[in-house]
Structure 1
Amino acid sequence: MKPTTKSFPTVSVFGVPFSKLDMKGTQQYLTEAIKSRQPHQIITANPIMVMTAVNDPAYKNMMQQAEMIVPDGTGIVWAAGVGGEPLPDRVPGFDLLHELFKAGETYRWRFYLLGTTAEVIQEAAERLQMQYPAAIICGYRDGFFGPQDDAAVIEGIRAAAPDVLFVARGADTQEPWIAQHKEALNVPVVMGVGGTFDIISGKLKRAPKVFQKLRLEWFYRLLKEPTRYKRMLALPKFVVKVLREKENVTKTS
């Protein structure tokens, strides 16, 4: 399958097309996506995901078929600059979720939250509803289900009729699950949000401002979750690949 044609400017980092829209432009694009009622998969991608795509053609193809990929990780912004096609800035998934909820208060959008544990997702839903009382959280459920449960989960989401579906599942399954079921879900905006619900619920803390300003949120998460070190090994590999292949970083492949 050929990559999806984008209606906004992109820059390709090792074949993964990243949106060049800033946060405001992204929010505006997604507002139009919701109005269109057509399914859109939004990927908030970091260098680890790009390295997965580099090594796994199927994963790369899945990413290329997404309607929008935003640069969640600061490493993506850095790599695009090294390749001579700079991005305006990061569009962190955590912040984008909140921007959509803010807009949701104005437009009375319906939100569905899927993923993590039952306790965490319930607490996240309650906190978001308190923070954005005019937005509508039309449903939520935990992410502990297997392929045999997909049909029932999808049916429940369709019955709730959300405008936006946020999905937090395992790093290796989150985006492929969305891609596989995007059409069946029939939700205008479906976005993977990783550990965002853990932060919103209070289970985890977001990196302090100083780490954010220094673009070291990844390091803060590693300090708090040492078990992530295996995934983090992809980061130095990404840096080396960018520096070795400067002329190819932003060429479509």
Structure 2
Amino acid sequence: MDKTVKVIDESIINKTHLHHVVVNAAKMVNMQKDKELYESVVSSDIINADGQAVVWASKFLGQPLPERVAGIDLMQNLVKLAYEKNHKVFFFGAKEDVVSEVVKRYSEQYSQDIIAGYRNGYFDNVDEESIARQIAQSGAHILFVAISSPTKEIFLNRYKDIIQTPFIMGVGGSFDVVAGKVNRAPLWMQNAGLEWFYRFLQEPRRMWKRYLYTNSMFLWLVFKEKLLKK
């Protein structure tokens, strides 16, 4: 986490461009069949392991990652950094009431001066380029995109040359957590790699098929990789 924040801060100061992405078990599985998602991830400048399962897998396969860097934790650290270093942030995604609540809470916690702009995540494909130009014109140093995968990864990869914001990243459902719409798992569950299970308990009907498939496939991919290494 500290190394990631330092690299991002240096990029903003030096006015270079970084595209950040996080991966978890589900995204690793989906990347196998979605070529555009795969290209969007591997062409990014920084890839962090958001899921604890990815960290465990890296150790099992002999290429250990130092720690999990959850997207929401990185976002919180970067909003604080923005306040400390006079950076501006653009928030893009989620429902209108959610993203506006996120902006309201961060403005109260830090300052309105960190807000470059915001927009909800509901749009048609024909609107994508105009949204990218809106972000570019906002003067933001940091862009958070709270849209589900693979839409956010593909959007950022497709339009990052137009956006030209020094640091861009997708943050999934993080806005819902910050706005108080969704509870985050207790710390012990996060450390135990059970944050997905906590989410499943909140929305079992919607999540059970997704997690049954992706978790099973991820385990198969890891063991297959281990066998290939041998």
Task: After TM superposition, give the deviation of residue 91 of structure 1 in Å.
Answer: 0.4
Number of the residue aligned with 1:163 = 141
Task: After TM superposition, give the deviation of residue 55 of structure 1 in Å.
Answer: 2.3
1:39 lines up with 2:20 in the alignment: no
Distance 2:193 2:183 in 1: 16
1:241 lines up with 2:221 in the alignment: yes
Superimposed CA distance per residue, residues 83-111 of structure 1 (whole angstroms, 9 cap, x where no aligned partner)? 10111110001110011112112211100
- The residue matched to 2:168 in structure 1 has which SS? strand
Unpaired stretches in structure 2, ≥5 consecutive residues: none
Alignment RMSD, CA only? 1.6
Number of the residue aligned with 2:207 = 228
Residue identity (%): 33
Distance 1:67 1:93 in 2: 15
Native 8 Å contact 1:72 1:92 kept in 2: yes
Task: After TM superposition, give the deviation of residue 170 of structure 1 in Å.
Answer: 2.4
1:147 counterpart letter in structure 2: N
- The residue matched to 2:32 in structure 1 has which SS? helix
Question: Greater share of helix residues, 1 or 2?
Answer: 2
1:195 lines up with 2:176 in the alignment: no
Native 8 Å contact 1:43 1:192 kept in 2: yes
- The residue matched to 2:148 in structure 1 has which SS? coil
Native 8 Å contact 2:50 2:69 kept in 1: yes
Number of the residue aligned with 1:51 = 29
Task: After TM superposition, give the deviation of residue 132 of structure 1 in Å.
Answer: 2.3
2:157 counterpart letter in structure 1: A
More off after superposition, 120-129 vs 153-162: 153-162
Task: After TM superposition, give the deviation of residue 247 of structure 1 in Å.
Answer: 5.0
Task: After TM superposition, give the deviation of residue 152 of structure 1 in Å.
Answer: 2.3
Number of the residue aligned with 1:81 = 59
Native 8 Å contact 1:104 1:135 kept in 2: no
Native 8 Å contact 1:41 1:66 kept in 2: yes
Task: After TM superposition, give the deviation of residue 204 of structure 1 in Å.
Answer: 0.4
1:186 counterpart letter in structure 2: Q
More off after superposition, 223-232 vs 136-145: 223-232
Native 8 Å contact 2:52 2:191 kept in 1: no
- The residue matched to 2:144 in structure 1 has which SS? strand
- The residue matched to 1:55 in structure 2 has which SS? coil
Native 8 Å contact 1:115 1:143 kept in 2: yes
Structure-to-structure mapping, 1:1-253, within 5 angstroms: 23-133=1-111, 136-226=114-204, 227-232=206-211, 233-246=213-226, 248=228
Task: After TM superposition, give the deviation of residue 139 of structure 1 in Å.
Answer: 0.6
Q: TM-score, normalised by structure 2?
A: 0.93
Task: After TM superposition, give the deviation of residue 240 of structure 1 in Å.
Answer: 2.1
Q: TM-score, normalised by structure 1?
A: 0.85
2:29 counterpart letter in structure 1: M
Unpaired stretches in structure 1, ≥5 consecutive residues: 1-22
Superimposed CA distance per residue, residues 194-250 of structure 1 (whole angstroms, 9 cap, x where no aligned partner)? 00000000010111223123221110011112212333221121012212321557x
Distance 2:168 2:127 in 1: 19
Q: How many residues align?
A: 227
Native 8 Å contact 1:112 1:140 kept in 2: yes
Distance 1:146 1:207 in 2: 33
Task: After TM superposition, give the deviation of residue 144 of structure 1 in Å.
Answer: 0.2
- The residue matched to 1:245 in structure 2 has which SS? helix
2:226 counterpart letter in structure 1: K
Quickly say closer, same or farther: Cα 1:248–1:107, change in 2 above 3 A.
farther
